Structure 1
Amino acid sequence: MNASIFEQGMPPTIANHVPLSPLTFIERSAAVYPDYPAVVHGTTRRTWAETWTRCRQLASALEKRGLQPGQTVAAMLPNIPAMFEAHFGVPLAGCVLNTLNIRLDAEAISYMLAHGEAKAILVDPEFAQVINDAVALLDDKPLIIDVFDLEFLGETQGIGEVEYEALLAEGEADYAYTLPKDEWQAISLNYTSGTTGKPKGVVYHHRGAYLNAVSNILEWAMPHHPVYLWTLPMFHCNGWCFPWTIAANAGVSVCLRKVDPKRINDLIVDEKVTHFSGAPIVLNGLVNLPADQKREFDHPVKVTTAGAAPPASVIAGVEKLGIEVTHVYGLTEVYGPVTVCAWREAWNELPLESRAKIKARQGVRYHMLEALCVADPLSLEPVAKDGETIGEILMRGNNVMKGYLKNAEATEKALEGGWYHTGDLAVWHADGYIEIKDRSKDIIISGGENISTIEVEDAIYSHPAVEEAAVVAKPDEKWGETPCAFVKLKIGYGEITEADIIAHCREHLASFKVPKTVIFSELPKTSTGKIQKFVLREEAKQH
């Protein structure tokens, strides 16, 4: 068959077809807005021109130290300027950035360094001992680069061969970097939590990072030069691709070493923060900040929340503070968030509580996600859009991972049938919006009935004394499983008993969904604020 006339005499060339890479974003912002602020960290203030220079110096220095394209550079850093710079400097050298979860122990970190074959690692002094212990377990020792934070940590003892600022001084400010020849080239490596078995190494490519970074701007209607507060760890899905998003929009990255509700509130006021992101636990911290620590602000502030389905009561509480909430949803395997509860003007007329319930839905696909559906995981047939039939959330698009590093079998299973299988169970509403009901591993089956832990948690959260809640399955001889609730109460409330919580749930839930057990305790969390239900399941079994 002859080629179409539109395929004749017009081959792609470097003039009209180039690989997509988010590295071009910082190049543009530094050229167009060289004197605009880029990074804030305490008294440290750097422009886009200065940040771009430092990123090129980092790339150059890594190359001079013997790092080769395609090799891994790890980072064990909190949200500080060096972590932001690594998102550009490392891939500018053709290397792959592996941001490590700063809450993990030495054994887990050692596994990741070995599995990812890290040749260098950037280390904050706060995590020096963990890295020392992790590296001691390795046969192939990486180059350790100390990253001191004098303003916030003072003078500290290094464990590395070179300190970060000295390393930058080794690099050339006009480093002749090259952009990737293939947009399928890896840009970063992110490890899953590994709650079952060894953590899997999720590989991102330049194209996906580029597209998801742009999608963040579109879904949030983010204006030029936003002031973005780093409440979300940059190690988590590369900060949901926001380092690249902020570069694309020539915004300001306000760094934050540690999530602290008072510090967040202060920075929103003092730095005129316009945007931030975080798990519902971060929002909960702001809602429950003591009155004497709260400072009012009169400028528009927006937050995206994800990581766990946010209770409607938490969304309502945040909006009462004057912060507009956008609910997004995603996973490590899809570069962070890829769905959004896209807002409709008609919903503005609804009462606050009704708006909050709508905002608790996971919504519709990002612009850059090709397809999203709720379907039977085996037949791949979409479920009815009735808001009741439960299926698995499936995704397809350029912002789905390359795959799992050194694990072809897991990659094939995750992408079976031409879809990425999320493992999240949801319903599909008539308007096309999806709503998660549970992780497939979290759903409670009691007497043959499926119980959504999220639905039960929403009911518990509506009790005015509850600050945090999580519901898991508890083995039961008669029913197979029953709901077991773990609850943290707000400070200052009177005596609240198990019977009080159960009675409250009876007013909001069908009887079979009401928790049979309520345990009052602190809730274990991951570094990104997700409640560790696997820990609670074990506690429920022992109770």
Structure 2
Amino acid sequence: MHAMRRCPRLETFLNGGNGNLSALSLMPRVRTTLVGPQKNAQHGWHVHPVVHGDVMELMGDRSNQDPAEIKNYCPNVRSLWSGIKHFAYPISVIPFARHQGRGSVFNSVGEKTVLTYANIFEAHADEFPDAVAIACGDVEVTWSQYDEHAARLAAAFEINGLGEHSKVGMFMYNCPEYLITQYAAFKNRVTPVNVNYRYLDDELLYLLDNADCEALVFHSSLGDRIQRIAHRLPKLRLLIEVLDSSSAGVIGAIPWESVLDDHDPATRIVRGVDDLYMLYTGGTTGMPKGVMYPMGSFTEGFLGFYTNSAGLPAITSIEGVTALAKMIHTGSGQPVGMPCCPLMHGTGVWLGALVPHLMAGKVVLLEGQSFDAAEMFRVVEHHGVGTLIIVGDAFARPMVQALKQQSDTGTPFDTSAVKMIMSTGAMFSSDIKAEIFEYMPTTVVMDILGSSEGGMGQTMATKANINTTAKFGAMPNTKVINFETGKEVVAGSGEQGMVGVSGSGVPIGYYKDPEKSDRTFRSFDGVRYSFPGDMAVVEADGTITLLGRGSNCINTAGEKVFPEEVEEAVKTHDVVADCLVFGIPDERFGQRVVGVASVNPGERIPTGEEVIAYTKTKLSSYKVPKQLVFVTTVPRAPNGKADYGTARTLFEEAQGSSQS
């Protein structure tokens, strides 16, 4: 029989008084039962706070009470609001004492572990140790292995002097080691930095230097680039090499396997909501920038995305996340997601990995370094993938082709497990969605309007209801602002504005770039918004139609190409005097990079192919123009500003002449 003990301050807090949660810390660390009920006189409902060992349950006695309403009465109670179905149904569970041992989710008496990815993952490793966390080819990593490997890597970071806000670069193709490195960084309060594996020497040097990377985990097939630039990065103190198809060879690098073998798992530590998360952009409006988020709001934002999409109430505790994950695993089974796009981009790592891992899901990775739709569908069949994450038409078109070709053989792919296709980062055309539904009629498509700087809208499509291309339902905290008038765009007016999103998910800013931060993250009517640069109109029904980026950024297969960077590279050719680069529509990739150029007086005019080949030695292949036309003079305004409209016309005329 447990001893019973009253806690008046706690009861006062729970039932409408001025108490606070510090009462939890007054609880003795013994098995205790807190008696009740206590009546809230103003609202006419009762709460029974009952403590059993290390947890406290709040019991409500009104069967018709709305949990959200009760939450408003006690807004400071962090809990899992699971609803009141009958008398004495648990409304919430609040920890008040520290568990001992590896499975602890409490920091100290009265101090609950904060809601961050590392803390959630550790709880999942304890609750679902044998469930598969990552699958890639023949390799499967269970949740206990995921946690242990990350803890060993975290120990290596700590021994090498990496701690809070230190940076570790991840220069890898999709692989389990990428996600393990990210988790290890989360564990040690280190900031993971995504590095585009397409970057060549100068691009790579810029990003690693700009990010202040002190460690780098990389694939050995990319090691030659590291070897050439490492001596120019004085802050880089730790190189860890993941062996893939090429042999190791970077001087001073430690093999991945040795790092795991030589270090015991790091002890779990206390972490904070202000730990830094950072994702480098693809250079949409200039050179790549590190978008900074506080880890607490970053985690809560994706947890909110998950629960909102599933029509579930908000969850604000580790215990709540674990309880929901257990319910999902027991009911519909473990979530299985597949990022078909690179983990180095936000779409892949956020929607493809961090979202399914919130519920202790399995993340299935493709082995190939480029997208193969037929391979993808074979892996979908093998693992029973429930959610596919893609980047618009560049992935959807090959998927349609693979589905058609396989169907024509008489043995179509089994896609019955795929309940949802999630897409963001590039246009997903309505006609391509329709073709997808012909082969996958029960699948739902979620098309998301978002960027590294925040999510702004989404739309759902089914076989029976296919939405218009580039039309999205706005999030509750999304506005379209006309900065010329300083007012919000009026629905149905046809007026154009810039899409902005507010709320706790707005980033801190860009790393080491306060001026760019001030332009992108600014206030409207006293509220701070993120304005990544997307232009749109608001339709009469309240939906928003995306017009594109205000800048001349080119989006090719989800990769962002900044024209001025390409133009400068082309102009380093000996005979090129000037150049303008832009995107034109492309059936598969959304946009294709092309351009016009002129030569210095008296110089011979080279072929476009010759200059393109030269540019490939300077830039990543996706940035290089696919076509280049030479003109007498590159069009510019008197003030020197580029005239992209005329340049595009000149290119189209040249193409027409060559085809006639």
Quickly name the TM-score band, shorter chain normalised: 0.7 to 0.9
Structure with more relative contact order (C-alpha pairs < 8 Å, separation 6 or more): 1
TM-score normalised by the chain length of structure 2: 0.62
Question: What are the superposed Cα offsets for residues 117-156 of structure 1, whole Å, 9 maximum, x if unpaired?
Answer: 111100112221222233243344442110123xxx2755
Q: Distance in 2 between matches of 1:103 and 1:62?
A: 26
Matches within 5 A, 1:68-467: 68-149=163-244, 153=245, 155-173=247-265, 175-181=266-272, 183-187=273-277, 189-194=278-283, 196-221=285-310, 224=329, 225-237=334-346, 239-240=349-350, 242-257=352-367, 258=369, 259-280=371-392, 281-289=394-402, 291-293=404-406, 295-301=412-418, 302-322=420-440, 323-334=443-454, 337-342=455-460, 355-358=465-468, 360-365=470-475, 371-386=477-492, 388-417=494-523, 418-442=528-552
Q: 1:42 to 1:242 in 2, by over 3 A?
A: closer
Q: Deviations over 1:280-318 (max 9, x none)?
A: 111121112374456421423111111122211111122
* Contact 2:116-2:296 within 8 A present in 1 as well: yes
Q: Does the 8 Å CA contact 1:128/1:159 hold for their aligned counterparts? A: no
Cα distance, 1:241 vs structure 2: 5.3
SS in 2 for 1:341: strand
On the 8 A contact 2:337/2:363 being kept in 1, the answer is: yes
- Most deviating of 290-299 and 247-256: 290-299
Any gaps of 5 or more consecutive residues in structure 1? 444-452, 458-469, 473-482, 491-523
Partners of 2:350 and 2:453 in 1: how far apart? 11
1:213 deviates by 2.6
Q: Look up the SS of the partner of 1:83 in the other structure.
A: helix
2: distance between equivalents of 1:176 and 1:489?
Answer: 48
Q: Which amino acid aligns with 2:648?
A: A
What amino acid maps onto 1:20 in structure 2? Answer: L
Distance in structure 1 (CA, Å) of the matches to 2:229 and 2:586: 35
Residue 8 of structure 1 deviates from its aligned partner by 4.1
Match of 1:466 in 2: none
Question: Taking structure 1 as the reference length, what is the TM-score of the superposition?
Answer: 0.74
Contact 2:380 2:415 in 1 (8 A): no
Distance in 1, matches of 2:131 and 2:457, equals 31
The letter for the 2-side match of 1:10 is N
- 1:36–1:159: structure 2 CA closer, same or farther, 3 Å change rule? same
More deviation, 530-539/14-23:
530-539
- Residues 102, 154 of structure 1: alpha-carbon distance in 2 compared, 3 angstrom cutoff: closer
Q: Which has the larger radius of gyration?
A: 2
What is the distance in 1 between the residues matched to 2:238 and 2:405?
A: 47
Aligned residues of 1:25 and 1:244 also touching (Cα < 8 A): no
1:10 aligns with 2:20: yes
Take 1:376 and 1:533, find their aligned partners in 2: how far apart are those partners?
A: 35
Which ranges in structure 2 are unaligned for 5 or more consecutive residues? Answer: 1-11, 26-107, 312-327, 564-581, 590-615, 630-643, 652-660
**Residue number in structure 2 paired with 1:501:** none
Contact (CA 8 Å) 1:87, 1:243: kept in 2 or not?
no
**Structure 1 residue 378: deviation in Å?**
4.4
Q: How many residue pairs get matched?
A: 453
Question: AA paired with 1:262?
Answer: A
CA distance in 2, matches of 1:249, 1:372: 27
| Distance in 1 of aligned mates of 2:385 and 2:622 | 21
Root-mean-square deviation over aligned CA pairs:
3.7
Q: 1:377 to 1:416 in 2, by over 3 A?
A: same
- The offset of 1:529, in angstroms, is 9.0
CA distance in 2, matches of 1:236, 1:372: 23
Task: Confirm whether residue 540 of structure 1 aligns to residue 648 of structure 2.
Answer: yes
Structure 2 partner of 1:504: none
Q: In the aligned structure 2, how far is the partner of 1:50 from the partner of 1:528?
A: 36
Contact 1:90–1:97 (Cα < 8 Å) also in 2: yes
- State the AA in 1 paired with 2:356: I
Q: SS in structure 2 opposite 1:357? A: coil
Closer, same or farther: CA 387–341 of 1 in aligned 2, 3 Å: farther
Distance 1:484 1:33, change over 3 A: closer
Evaluate the alpha carbon distance shift between residue 402 and residue 242 of structure 1 in structure 2; reply closer, same or farther with a 3 A threshold. farther
Change (3 A) 1:102 1:51: same
